[in-house]
Amino acid sequence: MNINHIIWIIIVLILSILQTGWPDILRVQGVTPDLGLIMVIYFALFYGEERAMFTGLFAGIYQDIASNTPLGHHILCLVITGFIFGKLSGRLISEHPAIKSALVFGGAILHGILFNIIVYLQDPYTNFTYVIFINTVPSAFYSALMTPFVFWLLQQIFRFTDFFSAYSPGK
């Protein structure tokens, strides 16, 4: 197994645990960034839709288990978002940090709308627009602000593992 695959799974688990296990570290005014979504967009932009969808699967499983939602809500939303942004990544010039942040903001809005549609279909008495404006939009802004830092961290980690795997004895 390639070292990049092992590091990728470990990073997905660490950031998912950070998001769900220690939310007070990341919480600002009751809002937390969606690190799972940031990872999905990162892997969609730099590695394509397949890696993004698997990242969405792993991060979504952990988020569904750690939160009080039925299994599959986060998985479905993250996988769909990863697929869409993975398909778009070949058509976008996304080198500037502002563009990456805007893509994460758009992905967070898409993820929030999909998630809230699923919740609304299960419980039609919830106020859909209220939840979008109170939960989704602030989380999308915070996730967009965290994007350059998380992308930089992931690029440094995978640059190191690419260097490490290029000089492995098996090659």
* CATH at residue 108: 1.10.1760
Domain hosting residue 36, numbered range: 3-23+30-161
- Tens of pLDDT, residue by residue over 107-152, are 999 999 999 999 999 988 888 899 999 999 999 999 999 999 999 9
Residue 171 belongs to some domain of the structure: no
pLDDT of residue 162: 67
Helices (H), the chain: 3-21, 23-26, 35-47, 49-66, 73-89, 97-122, 128-131, 137-166
pLDDT of residue 166: 60
Report the Cα 114 to chain-centroid distance in Å.
14
What is the pLDDT confidence band of residue 39, given thresholds at 50, 70 and 90? very high
Report the Cα 146 to chain-centroid distance in Å.
11
In the chain, the amino acid numbered 76 is L
As a whole-number percent, the residues of the chain with pLDDT over 70 amount to 92
Residues 98, 117: Cα–Cα separation, whole Å: 28
Residues 3, 85: Cα–Cα separation, whole Å: 25
Residue 166 belongs to some domain of the structure: no
Quick check: 68 pLDDT over 90?
A: no
- The β-bridge partners of 31 are 28
Average the pLDDT over 17-39 and give the result. 84
- Tens of pLDDT, residue by residue over 80-117, are 999 999 999 888 777 888 999 999 999 999 999 999 99
pTM of the predicted model as reported, rounded to 2 decimal places: 0.87
How many domains does the chain divide into?
Answer: 1
